Amino acid sequence: MKLWCFVARHDRRARSVALRRLKSFCAVAETGSFTAAAQKVRNVRSSVTVRIQPAIVRAL
């Protein structure tokens, strides 16, 4: 039972991180700017950049 609770919590965190990355990515695509996207998702620009940068590098 303890193992199942650990896995369920871990998956929830992973989903949360993935959702934040997706929201940040969409905001950058919509606004065309990291600064405007950060304001839209109510976060700082550096945080949005860190979330998006790995996705951009993989796409290249």
- The predicted model scores a pTM of 0.70
Residue 60 reports pLDDT greater than 90: no
Cβ proximity of 45 and 38 under 8 Å: yes
Residue 1 reports pLDDT greater than 90: no
Residue 3 reports pLDDT greater than 60: no
The dihedral region occupied by 8, where left means phi > 0, alpha psi between -120 and 50, and beta the remainder, is: alpha
Per-residue confidence (pLDDT) for residue 38, from 0 to 100:
95
- Positive/negative CA dihedral, 38, 43, 45, 50: negative
HSE toward the beta carbon, residue 35, CA cutoff 13 A = 0
Write down the H helix ranges in the chain: 2-31, 34-40, 45-59
Average pLDDT in the chain: 79
